[in-house]
Amino acid sequence: MDSRRHMVCGVLLCAWLATGPARSQDETFTEPKSGKTFPNKIVLTLEGKEVTLLTTGAIQFIKESKKAVEGKNEGAQYTMAHYLEAATVDSGKTVYSMILEKPVVKQMLFAYENEATAEASRKVYSRFFAKVASPAEMEQNQIAMEEFLAAVSVPLKAQQRVAFRWLPDNRMVIILPEMPEKVLRASPIASWFWKSWFGEASPLDRAGLVEKLVAH
């Protein structure tokens, strides 16, 4: 893989995200495989200050299926766009490490293809923990895990969008359709969630999630 995807120095992005309502801008970009459109930046108010978050990239997730037809989206599960507050990449670190370690605001915005029951949503999200956390870590953070799973265990309609915000103090904000924002207590949950996509063991194409970032 191109080394530029692994190491980026002096990258400067603007901020987004907080607990205040955000307003989308007219500028958008399209994830090519899914055709889903997302805002390039979102402006919001955080602790009385107007901040902007820029996208780092987006990917479509397609579940492997024998019934899936090449060039079609039968196996598509969701398309996710990632956003990041201003941050620089320290010398000797990868862009992925920066995203996982820098105490700045981050957000994932998911556009789901299909409807899901509350039970199905809970099962999907519960799988993330087992992939990135040890049994001991999960036991130590059982209350936080249950709080997260209770928040995301809601039915979803096809084409609805869900957002997850990781705040610098390790709180997590969950934004579900037609529901008020849910702010979870500080815990490792958000870092585990991000590690599922940006960690070295991620089964997805991480490069697509940072291609706009490394292009700067």
Each domain of the chain, given as residue ranges in start order, spans 3-214
pTM recorded for the entire structure? 0.82
Q: How far apart are CA 31 and CA 52, in angstroms?
A: 21
pLDDT attached to residue 188: 96
Going by their DSSP bridges, the two strands 49-62 and 41-46 should be labelled as antiparallel
Q: Phi/psi of residue 118, each to 5°?
A: -60, -40
pLDDT attached to residue 66: 44
Give pLDDT tens digits for 120-177: 999 988 888 888 899 999 999 999 999 999 999 999 999 999 999 999 999 999 999 9
pLDDT attached to residue 185: 95
Give the number of other CB atoms < 10 A from CB of residue 153.
Answer: 16
CATH of domain 3-214: 3.50.70.10
Give 173's contacts (C-beta < 8 A, 6+ positions apart): 17, 19, 163, 164, 165, 167, 181, 182, 183, 184
pLDDT attached to residue 164: 96
Contact 103, 168 (CB under 8 A): yes
pLDDT attached to residue 26: 54
Count how many Cα atoms sit within 13 Å of the Cα of residue 104 in the half-sphere of its side chain.
22
Going by their DSSP bridges, the two strands 76-84 and 49-62 should be labelled as antiparallel
CA geometry: angle 43, 48, 53, nearest 5 deg? 25
The rounded radius of gyration (Å) of the Cα atoms in the chain is: 17
pLDDT attached to residue 216: 58
pLDDT attached to residue 16: 29
Going from the C-alpha of 11 to that of each of 57, 85, 156, 209, the distances in angstroms are 14, 11, 36, 15
Give pLDDT tens digits for 32-68: 999 999 999 988 777 787 778 899 999 999 875 444 4
Give pLDDT tens digits for 68-109: 444 444 566 899 999 998 888 888 889 999 999 999 999 999
